[in-house]
C-alpha cells in the first residue's frame, strides 16, 4: 500500500489505514515534508508506475482536492493499482449501502441504508449521508456534515464542515457548500453557496482554495504531470 499525498488529508488517511492494521510503505508527493507520521516520501506521483513494477499492488489517493483526487485515481487504476476503499472500524455502514473504490470513510461517519458513495469519495469524520443518499465520484462530505435521506451530491462537490442538507436536495457537480450552511433547495452544478439559509456566493468553485486544507495543494500538483501518469 502506497499513499499519494502528503498534506493535511494524508495524515487522516495514514491514521485510517493504521486503524485497519495496514502499515503503508510510504508516500508519493511532488513536495511537502520528507516524512509524514513516520512514513517517508518515496518520490513523486509521476513515478507511481515504477513502484507498481516493483510489486506495490495497492494505492490510496490521500489528496483533499476533489478534482485532483479523481484524476490521479483514474491514472493509478490505469496503471494496474488496486485502490481499495477504507472504512474506519467506528464508522456505521447500514444495510444495502455501497462504497466505491478509493473511498475513505472516517471515524464515526454514518452511511445510511442503501446510500451510495461513488469512487474516491471522502465521508469525513462524524459526517452522515443518510438512507438512499448518494455521492458522485470524488465528492467530499466534510467533518460533521449532516445530509438527510435521499440527498444527492454531485461529482467532485464539497459539502463543508457541519453543513446540513434537507431531505431529497440535489447538489450539483463541482458545487461547494460552505461550512455550517443549511441547504434548503437544490444547488446548481459549480455553484458556491454559504450561510443559513444557503445563499449563492460569487465566482465558480474551482475548489483550489476552498477546502481549508491548503497544504494538500502544495503537496501534490498534478497539472502538467498528469500525462506521465496516464
Ligand atoms: C464557502 C467558502 C468556500 C467560501 O470561501 P471563499 O471563496 O474564500 O470566500 P470568502 O472567505 O472570501 O468569503 C466570501 C463571503 O462569504 C462569507 N462566507 C464564507 N464562508 C461562509 C460560510 N461558511 N458561511 C457563511 N458565510 C460565509 C464571508 O463572510 C464573505 O462574506 P462578505 O463578502 O459579506 O464579507 C469557505 O468559506 C468554506 O466554508 N469552505 C468550506 C471549508 C470546509 O468545511 N472544509 C472541509 C474541511 S474537512
Q: Is residue 220 part of a domain?
A: no
Q: Are 14 and 29 in contact (CB under 8 A)?
A: no
Q: Are 164 and 141 in contact (CB under 8 A)?
A: no
Using the 3D structure, point to which of 64, 84, 104 is the last residue of a domain. Answer: 84
CATH code of the domain containing 14: 3.40.50.20
CATH code of the domain containing 92: 2.160.10.10
Residue nearest to atom 11 of ligand 1 (CA): 210
Helix or strand or coil: residue 59?
strand
Is any atom of ligand 1 closer than 6 Å to the C-beta of 160? yes
- Residue 108 and residue 189 in one domain: yes
pLDDT, tens digit, for every residue of 21-75?
A: 999 999 999 998 999 999 999 999 999 999 999 999 999 999 999 999 999 999 9
Partners of 170 in the beta sheet? 152
Q: Is residue 228 part of a domain?
A: no
Residues of the chain with pLDDT under 70: 204-230
- Spell out a b/e string for 193-202, using b for 16 or more CB atoms within 10 Å of the CB, else e: bbeeebeeee
- Residue 100 and residue 119 in one domain: yes
3-state secondary structure 67-95: HHHHHHHHHHHHCCCECCCEECCCCEECC
- Residue 55 and residue 100 in one domain: no
Residue 27's H or E segment, with its range, is strand 26-28
- Residue 204 and residue 101 in one domain: yes
- Residue 113 and residue 204 in one domain: yes
- Residue 77 and residue 91 in one domain: no
User: Which range of residues forms the domain containing residue 169?
Assistant: 85-211
User: Which pLDDT score is estimated for 204?
Assistant: 65
Residue nearest to atom 44 of ligand 1 (CA): 160
- Residue 47 and residue 156 in one domain: no
Is any atom of ligand 1 closer than 6 Å to the C-beta of 176? yes
Q: Is residue 58 part of a domain?
A: yes
- Residue 102 and residue 29 in one domain: no
Task: Give Cβ neighbours of residue 125 (< 8 Å, ≥ 6 apart).
Answer: 12, 106, 107, 108, 109, 143, 144
Q: Report the predicted TM-score, pTM, of the whole model to 2 decimal places.
A: 0.91
Q: Copy the grid coordinates of residue 186.
A: 437544490
Total tally of structural domains belonging to the chain:
2
Is any atom of ligand 1 closer than 6 Å to the C-beta of 124? yes
Helix or strand or coil: residue 161?
coil
Amino acid at each position: 500500500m502506497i499513499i499519494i499525498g502528503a498534506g493535511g488529508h494524508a495524515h487522516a488517511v495514514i491514521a485510517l489505514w493504521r486503524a485497519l492494521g495496514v502499515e503503508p510503505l510510504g508516500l508519493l508527493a511532488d513536495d511537502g515534508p520528507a516524512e509524514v507520521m513516520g512514513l517517508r516520501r518515496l518520490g513523486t506521483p509521476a513515478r507511481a508506475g515504477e513502484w507498481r513494477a516493483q510489486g506495490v499492488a495497492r494505492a490510496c489517493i490521500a489528496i483533499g482536492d476533489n478534482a485532483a483526487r479523481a484524476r490521479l485515481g483514474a491514472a493509478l487504476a490505469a496503471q494496474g493499482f488496486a485502490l481499495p476503499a477504507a472504512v474506519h472500524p467506528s464508522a456505521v455502514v447500514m444495510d444495502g449501502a455501497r462504497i466505491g473504490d478509493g473511498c475513505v470513510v472516517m471515524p464515526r461517519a454514518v452511511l445510511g441504508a442503501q446510500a451510495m458513495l461513488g469512487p474516491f469519495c471522502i465521508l469525513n469524520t462524524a459526517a452522515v449521508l443518510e438512507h438512499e443518499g448518494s455521492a458522485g465520484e470524488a465528492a467530499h462530505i466534510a467533518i460533521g456534515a449532516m445530509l438527510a435521506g435521499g440527498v444527492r451530491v454531485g461529482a467532485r462537490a464539497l459539502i463543508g464542515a457541519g453543513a446540513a442538507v434537507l431531505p431529497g436536495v440535489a447538489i450539483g457537480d463541482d458545487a461547494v457548500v460552505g461550512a455550517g450552511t443549511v441547504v434548503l433547495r437544490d444547488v446548481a452544478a459549480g455553484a458556491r453557496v454559504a450561510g443559513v439559509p444557503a445563499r449563492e456566493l460569487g465566482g465558480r468553485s474551482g475548489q483550489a482554495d476552498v477546502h481549508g486544507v491548503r497544504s494538500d495543494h502544495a503537496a501534490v500538483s498534478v497539472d502538467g504531470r498528469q500525462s506521465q501518469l496516464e
